[in-house]
Amino acid sequence: MAKTFRLVVGDDDAGLRLDAFLAVQNLQLTRSRIQNLIRDELVTVNENPSKTGYRVRTGDVLTMVIPEPETLQMLPEPIPLDIYYEDGDLIVVNKARGMVVHPGAGHFCGTLVNALLHHCSDLSGINGILRPGIVHRLDKDTSGLLMVAKNDATHLALATQLQERTVQRNYLALVYGRPRQERGTVRTLIGRHPQERKRMAVNVRNGKEAVTHYQVARVYRGYTLLRLKLETGRTHQIRVHMTHIGHPLVGDLVYGRARPALGLEGQFLHAETLGFVHPSTGEHLAFTAPLPAELDDILIRLEGGD
C-alpha cells in the first residue's frame, strides 16, 4: 500500500531546498529517492507539483506519496558467492572479476544481484527492483569487497557513511610506468564526458569533487603496482584519475591503451580492503580480500621479468 506523508514547514526550515527539507524529516529515504519522487510529481507543495530546488517557506504544506514497492521480477540464480560476513542486516561479498553487480543493458542475468536473490530474499529496496541491497558498486572487471544491505535502515546508514567519507576502501591497481612520487593525491572534478556519454572525464562542467590517494607498492619493468585509497567514490574514479596523471590501468580498454596487455582484458583493479561501522551494533568491521588468481599470476610473471 502506498504511504502518504503530510508536512508543514516551520520557521527553522524556511529557505531550505525542497529535497533538502525532506531529507532531514526521518522518512528513511535517500536524497536521490526523494528527488525521483519530486520529479515524478509525487511531492506537492500547497497541492501543486514543485521542483527539487524550490526553497520552502514557513507554512508551506507538503504532501509526499511513496508508491507501494514494485513486485520484484528478477530471477534468482544459484551462482556461488564468496561471502566474507553476513548477519541479519548486511552481507560483505568478494565480487568475482567479470561479474556485473546489477542488471542493466545487455546484462539481465548472471549478475551479483541474481546471485544474492538466490542466497537471501531480504534485501533493501531503496535502489529499486533492479538493484536491491546495492549500496555501492564495482565495475564488471573490478574484483573485490562490496557491502550489501538487507533492509532500508541499514542501507541508509551505510550510504550516510559513504557520503561522510568514513568508509575505508583500499584498492590494488597495476598501472603503466612509474609515478614520479612514491605517494600522492589526485584531486579533480569528475563528471560525464561531454561528447562520449559512456565515459567519465576530469574537470568537466558540473563535475563532482573526486579525491584518490595512491602509494607505490611494487615497481616492475614498465609497470607499477599501486595501493589506492578512495576518499570519494565517483564512477570510474580510479581509472579516470590514473589516466589523468599519465599512468592508466593495465587492461583498461576504455581509459587506457586500446589493446590488451599482459594477456589481460579489463582493468587490473581489485578492492582489497573494506572497513565501516556496523549500523546496528556500532562495531567497526574490516575485511581484506586477496588478489584473484588471474591477477596474482600476472604479478608472479612480472617478478620473473616477463
Catalytic positions are 139
Q: Where do the H-state alpha helices sit in 45-184?
A: 112-119, 152-163
Question: Which residues share a beta bridge with 228?
Answer: 171, 214
From residue 297, alpha-carbon distances to 18, 33, 192, 260 in Å are: 53, 43, 34, 16
Q: Are 269 and 239 in contact (CB under 8 A)?
A: yes
Per-residue DSSP letter, 71: P
Edge-to-edge strands, sheet with 48-49:
3-8, 61-66, 43-45, 48-49
Please state, in angstroms and as integers, the Cα–Cα distance from residue 48 to each residue in 16, 19, 252, following that order: 18, 15, 48
With beta carbons less than 8 A apart as the criterion, state whether 104 and 130 touch. Answer: yes
| Distance (Å, whole) CA 51 – CA 261 | 48
